[in-house]
Amino acid sequence: FTEADVYQQSFNPQAYLKEFYSMSDDKEGANTLLMQNLRSLHKMFSLDGLKGDTLIDVGCGPTIYQLLSACECFQEIIALDYTDQNRRELEKWLRNEEGAFDWVPVVKYVCELEGDREKWAEKQEKVRKKVKQVLKCDVTKANPTGPVSLPPADCIVSTLCLEGACKDLPTFRSALKNIGTLVKPGGHLVMVTVLGETYYAFNQQVFSCLCLEKHEVEAAVEAAGFEVRLSEAQPYALIDETMDCRGVLALVARR
Ligand code: SAH
């Protein structure tokens, strides 16, 4: 199991982005997974009731793709992650600094899903304006943002985080309870989780992944006080050395 401290010491945000989010032609597996997740996020954030003032992104990593559909539904966004270098990499992009990752191909794809590929620059600006804070969190703590306490949000989104952050199913179940406290009663949880995966690798480093089944995720979400509104698993068949993922679950639940 890859402890949070290992993430802090050795997760390289730029290598991660290059491996999984660059949309380059030689990354067929990563591209398939990314586009599938973007379509799922587009669909989930189009559901009735998925709008409000505040959204919290739990385990954001150095990425923004998970905010591209969400930013149309919420006014203010707070992004949380455990590792300093991931939060810094995200801030670099938010401030449009030199050397920040190029998300343009990904942003264009989402704009195309929304019906107007030409709106990509506008959408980038929207994300940059709406993300108000980038803070440290630990999903294994009862108050994930402690010692800071955030007012509960209208929605939380979490993509590909808990399965990496939790060593076993009991820890995963309690992490869902912990992050559940970040959302108001009546608010939503939007999640993208890989199924049947035991590891992912990039930059010659291997990170462990809690091997999950669809029903285990749904049961954990319900035990954390949520009612599942949408839960769709898609098979993932491509096998390469970067991960052994068998499927992806897109889930929306209401607290
Ligand atoms: N959401 C991004 C990043 C996923 S990578 C994406 O969809 O690509 C997994 C992330 O989980 C890393 O950024 C890592 O720093 C974070 N993480 C690992 N353990 C954590 C913990 N205990 N609490 C919060 N975040 C954690």
Q: Residues 170-185: pLDDT tens digits?
A: 999 999 999 999 999 9
Asked if residues 198 and 164 have their Cβ atoms less than 8 Å apart, the reply is no
Q: Which CATH superfamily is domain 4-254 in?
A: Vaccinia Virus protein VP39 (3.40.50.150)
How far, in Å, is the centroid of ligand 1 from the Cα of 128?
Answer: 20
The domain segmentation of the chain, as residue ranges, is 4-254
How far, in Å, is the centroid of ligand 1 from the Cα of 164?
Answer: 7
Whether this model's pTM surpasses 0.95: yes
Consult the annotation and say whether 5 binds a ligand.
no
How far, in Å, is the centroid of ligand 1 from the Cα of 80?
Answer: 9
Q: Using a 6 Å cutoff on CB, does residue 4 contact ligand 1?
A: yes
pLDDT of residue 140: 98
Give me 240's structure tokens: 């390469």
CA–CA separation, 122 vs 112, rounded Å?
Answer: 13
CA–CA separation, 70 vs 157, rounded Å?
Answer: 9
Q: Is the pLDDT of residue 238 over 90?
A: no
Q: Is the peptide bond before 147 cis (omega within 30 degrees of 0)?
A: yes
Ligand 1 atom closest to Cα of residue 4: 19
Consult the annotation and say whether 139 binds a ligand.
yes
Q: Which residues have a Cβ under 8 Å from the Cβ of 167 and sit 6 or more positions away?
A: 1, 208, 210
pLDDT digits (tens, 9 = 90+) for 4-57: 999 999 999 999 999 999 999 888 889 999 999 999 999 999 999 999 999 999
